[in-house]
Amino acid sequence: MSARTGRSTIVSDTDFDEETKMYDAIVIGARCAGSPTAMLLARQGHRVLVVDRATFPSDTMSTHLIRPPGLAALRRWGLLDDLLATGVPACPSLRFDFGPVVLDGTPPPVDGLSMHYAPRRRVLDKLLLDAAIDAGVEVREQTAVKDLLWEGERVNGVRLNRGGAREVEPRARIVIGADGLRSTVAEQVGARTYHDQGMLTCSYYSYWSAVEAPRLTLYSRPGGAIAEIPTQDGLTCICGCWPAAEDRTVRRDIEGAIAVAIAEHAPELSSRLRGGIRQERFVGTGRIPNHFRQSHGPGWALVGDAAYHKDPIGARGISDAFDDAERVAAAVHAGLTGQESFDAALRGCQAEREEASLALYELDAQFAALEAPPPELQALIARVAGDQAATDELIGVISGTVPVDDVLSPTGPSPAEVA
């Protein structure tokens, strides 16, 4: 049931009669990209169906972190207060521990917001889905996409199956893949990848209680990284990253690998973890590609991780999904209303995505190499370490509140000059 409305989030098979099979948009995936995209379209009067194989609330693999631009999106949608009401702790500052140099600061605000929050996905995703339902979106949980449906060269619907029940074939003017890194929509349309950086890291995490003074920190060293992320219910998410080539070794003993990495890279955290208790199983993967995808074609579009995927070391997937949802929803609305052709609107959307994301995507790939930063970045980090305003500006780049070129461009000002 929707916590806001009391309405069921599941549409029964009998609701798919001949009078209800046509939608303006069908969105595949109901999490951080899919539910906002559907919500924004429905708020503009479009008839939208969302499909997901999961049930909600439920967890999924995640970096947890919502950066200030993502919080600004939630506020624009009227959902920020709902998130804060869940009791998720605020992270007012960020700490980047590079060993010889530690940067500790607060990013310049965007739309008055500089905090970070790291909710559990079972909380965040349910909140987003309920908002979509409140906007009038129809939802089918526990429903798998078997195939895309085609009319000539154009996608015009999906074949769905829910737990062995009869298959149904709703149609739509556009099908939007918000189904993540391993997108069924992307696979079936043959979406090509580009800006491919390969697989750089493997990453595994769990949750600890009774961690003394948890704070949002990334400990980064050549060969590994550890993230400490305060989340809900008094828990702290501890995440380890290693080179992708070490995944098989790490998976043999994740707990041991995390313990060794913390001892080597984050001894200060090691001492605070002594009284901590791990509360859940480890979650993670060694299959983390970095690429953009061709994200639109006749009758289809991709959004969020389905459209482009970056290493989790940057922890910007949720905020980027929100940003992309607004971008794709605007383009699809333009196509549905005839303001532009779908092709022109979605081509512009893809160009905007690259312009907004490519510089940080490449910066994340540098960090994900888990090597010593290049000399120019080492020099920059050392230079700003004694200047709080400059430190905040650099943290703003990583947090998405300061344009990369303002600080890191060879032709742009240094953080000290900006400060």
The Cβ-side half-sphere exposure at 291, using a 13 Å CA radius, reads: 18
Per-residue DSSP letter, 14: G
Per-residue DSSP letter, 53: S
Domains and their CATH numbers in the chain:
13-59+122-195+289-364 (3.50.50.60), 201-285 (3.30.9.100)
pLDDT, residue 6, reads 43
- Asked if omega into 68 is within 30° of 0 (cis), the reply is no
User: What is the rounded CA–CA span in Å between residue 213 and residue 235?
Assistant: 11
- pLDDT truncated to tens, each residue of the chain (419 aa)? 444 444 444 554 445 543 347 999 999 999 999 999 999 999 999 999 999 999 999 999 999 999 999 999 999 999 999 999 999 999 999 999 999 899 999 999 999 999 999 999 999 999 999 999 999 999 999 999 999 999 999 999 999 998 776 899 999 999 999 999 999 999 999 999 999 999 999 999 999 999 988 899 999 999 999 999 999 999 999 999 999 999 999 999 999 999 999 999 999 999 999 999 999 999 999 999 999 999 999 999 999 999 999 999 999 999 999 999 999 999 999 999 999 999 999 999 999 999 999 999 999 999 999 998 888 888 888 889 989 999 999 999 999 999 998 887 644 444 444 33
Burial class (CB in 10 A: 0-12, 13-18, 19+), 217: buried
pLDDT, residue 1, reads 41
Q: How many helices (H) and strands (E) does the chain have?
A: 14, 21
User: What is the rounded CA–CA span in Å between residue 105 and residue 402?
Assistant: 14
User: What is the rounded CA–CA span in Å between residue 291 and residue 307?
Assistant: 9
pLDDT, residue 324, reads 99
pLDDT, residue 415, reads 41
Residue 4 tokens, joined: 């806001």
First-last CA distance in the chain: 50
Predicted model pTM: 0.93
Cβ contacts of 137 within 8 Å, gap of 6 or more: 35, 38, 39, 42, 48, 49, 50
Residue 337 tokens, joined: 């209303």
pLDDT, residue 9, reads 46
Question: What are the contacts of 268-276 at 24+ separation with CB within 8 A?
Answer: 268/97, 269/217, 269/219, 269/226, 269/228, 269/238, 272/211, 272/212, 272/213, 272/214, 273/208, 273/211, 273/238, 275/210, 275/211, 275/212, 276/208, 276/209, 276/210, 276/211, 276/212, 276/236
Residue 144 tokens, joined: 């798998």
Cβ contacts of 351 within 8 Å, gap of 6 or more: none
